[in-house]
Amino acid sequence: MADSKGKRDRVILAYSGGLDTSVMVPWIGEKYNLDVVAFTVDLGQGEDIEKIRAKALKTGAVDAVAIDARNLFVDCFVFPALMAGALYEGKYPLATALGRPLIAKLMVDCAREHQAKAVAHGCTGKGNDQVRFDVTFQTLAPDLKIIAPVREWKMSRDEALEYAARHGIEVEATKKSPYSIDVNLWGRSCEAGVLEDPWEEPPEDAYAWTTSPLKAPDEPEYVEIEFEQGRPVALNGERLDGVPLIEKLNALGGKHGVGRIDHVENRLVGIKSREIYEAPAAVILHQAHQELETLCLSKQAQRFKTIVAQEYADIIYNGLWFSAFHQDLFQFVLSNQRFVSGLVRVKLYKGQAIVVGRQSEHSLYSKKLATYEAGDQFDHEAAQGFIRLWGLSQQTQAQLQLLKGGKGFDLPGLAGPKSGQ
């Protein structure tokens, strides 16, 4: 792709500085005749993005952009997901899945600024991440061509190394990890290698953020988390912005071995995969938040919220962040969270985060109604009339159908499996 003056068009490449995306710089240039603008986002993966930017330029990118998007990530992606209670299949706090739509959106902005004609990423052809990137590009900028070199080039690691050597690309001498790893502030994911056998216990080297619970301190540690309208705002009385709050909880939880998740998950592309996650802050915050909701939400709201949480998690996991359905659900969550303010006390101990206390100015818990001691204001007599009506339809059905003619009640489920089933 080139214009009439022979100037090449540009492509914005999601650049991590690793082997694959480095090889992509000259590869895309050769294969697609495009100038590469490298694009790196800091989502709290703990890497020096300025160094990565410099490497991109050395590798042949015509320009390189590095953006610190940690605050945006936490405020507009992570905390809404937390407020929604979004855990994919009840387990995975969705760190990677939340990062992708943000990266893709920032890439589209960058493409507009640079009048680029294409975007490129390093995802493989069998994961969820390609879906999240491509669907976001497709939604926000259908005119941009999408290039995913790993999906098409079929290079082995050795071939990629050879290609890098031929093009003078520096490859760090560190030994290649046996795992495929993705990291941001909200969590670390680890897959492949021995983990591909779901029977195999994850070896300690699969973990990087958490101490083994066996080696965690013998003394428990307590942390008090304050929430305002569903958002965490303070730790142990200290008001903190989202980024440092999460960083602190990751360190604290990690020290106590909290946040390890072993998940055989259902990928969007139809396969099951076994993943090991570490997400101390996410695990602690989800648990604390859910406990606060038990005080602040009505029974019906709490129940309905579990459905919303599941839908929300699916939207995120399946790459549909930029949908009207998500906007609608988000409005529900905002409204639903307006009374979810208060304090939660969590005990961290040998791999566990245990909520041991919760309080809220909006608490629906009434000691006067709950107590078995003096001061009880619950109307015990009213219970009788209530129960008569509550059981009325079941009583009626039993008499007219189930027990008719003096039949006994068939106990469900006692037969056990028949042989051969």
Eight-state DSSP code of residue 209: S
Largest CA distance in the chain: 95
Report the alpha-carbon angle 111-148-274, nearest 5: 120
Nearest in space to 363 (alpha carbons), one of 346, 335, 344:
344
Footprint (CB under 6 A) of ligand ARG, residues 24-63:
none
Fill in the per-residue mask, 146 to 185: x = in contact with ligand ARG (CB under 6 A), - = not in contact: ----------------------------------x-x---
Shortest separation between residue 124's beta carbon and ligand ARG, angstroms: 8
Shortest separation between residue 214's beta carbon and ligand ARG, angstroms: 26
337 binds ligand ARG (CB under 6 A): no
Helices (DSSP H) in 120-232: which residue ranges?
A: 129-140, 149-153, 157-166
Other residues' Cβ atoms within 10 Å of the Cβ of residue 312: 26
Sequence-distant (6+) residues with CB within 8 A of 295 are: 342, 358, 359, 360, 362, 363, 364, 365
Query: Could you say which of 21, 184, 189, 360 contacts ligand ARG (CB under 6 A)?
Result: 189
Q: Cα(55)–Cα(51) distance, rounded to whole angstroms? A: 6
Shortest separation between residue 74's beta carbon and ligand ARG, angstroms: 18
Footprint (CB under 6 A) of ligand ARG, residues 221-280:
275
129 binds ligand ARG (CB under 6 A): yes
Fill in the per-residue mask, 59 to 98: x = in contact with ligand ARG (CB under 6 A), - = not in contact: -------------------------------------xx-
Residue closer to ligand ARG, measured from CB, 26 or 122: 122
- 376-408 burial by CB neighbour count: b if 16+ within 10 A, else e? eeeeeeeeeeeeeeeeeeeeeeeeeeeeeeeee
C-alpha distances (whole Å) from 175 to each of 172, 238, 385 are: 8, 41, 73
Residue closer to ligand ARG, measured from CB, 18 or 60: 18
Sheet-wide strand order for 35-42: 63-68, 35-42, 10-14, 118-120, 145-147
Q: Cα(9)–Cα(106) distance, rounded to whole angstroms? A: 19
- 220-230 burial by CB neighbour count: b if 16+ within 10 A, else e? eeebbbbbebb
Shortest separation between residue 192's beta carbon and ligand ARG, angstroms: 8
Shortest separation between residue 189's beta carbon and ligand ARG, angstroms: 4
Residue closer to ligand ARG, measured from CB, 189 or 211: 189
Shortest separation between residue 127's beta carbon and ligand ARG, angstroms: 6
Q: For ligand ARG, which stretch binds (CB under 6 A), given 29-37, 42-50, 127-135, 327-335?
A: 127-135
Query: Could you say which of 16, 22, 128, 130 contacts ligand ARG (CB under 6 A)?
Result: 128
Residue closer to ligand ARG, measured from CB, 29 or 44: 44
Shortest separation between residue 153's beta carbon and ligand ARG, angstroms: 17
How many of the chain's residues bind ligand ARG (CB under 6 A)?
10
Q: For ligand ARG, which stretch binds (CB under 6 A), given 50-58, 123-131, 231-239, 408-416?
A: 123-131
Are 297 and 340 in contact, with CB atoms under 8 Å apart? yes
Residue closer to ligand ARG, measured from CB, 69 or 195: 195
Residue closer to ligand ARG, measured from CB, 182 or 278: 182
Q: For ligand ARG, which stretch binds (CB under 6 A), given 59-67, 125-133, 220-228, 249-257?
A: 125-133
- Residues catalogued as catalytic: 20, 100, 129, 180
Q: Cα(228)–Cα(242) distance, rounded to whole angstroms? A: 12
Q: For ligand ARG, which stretch binds (CB under 6 A), given 63-71, 122-130, 328-336, 409-417?
A: 122-130
Helix (H, G, I), strand (E, B) or coil at 125: coil
Other residues' Cβ atoms within 10 Å of the Cβ of residue 371: 12
Residue closer to ligand ARG, measured from CB, 96 or 341: 96
Phi, psi of 354 (to 5 degrees): -120, 125
Nearest in space to 344 (alpha carbons), one of 401, 417, 414, 289:
289
Residue closer to ligand ARG, measured from CB, 89 or 200: 89
363 binds ligand ARG (CB under 6 A): no
Binding site for ligand ARG (CB under 6 A): 96-97, 127-129, 180, 182, 189, 191, 275
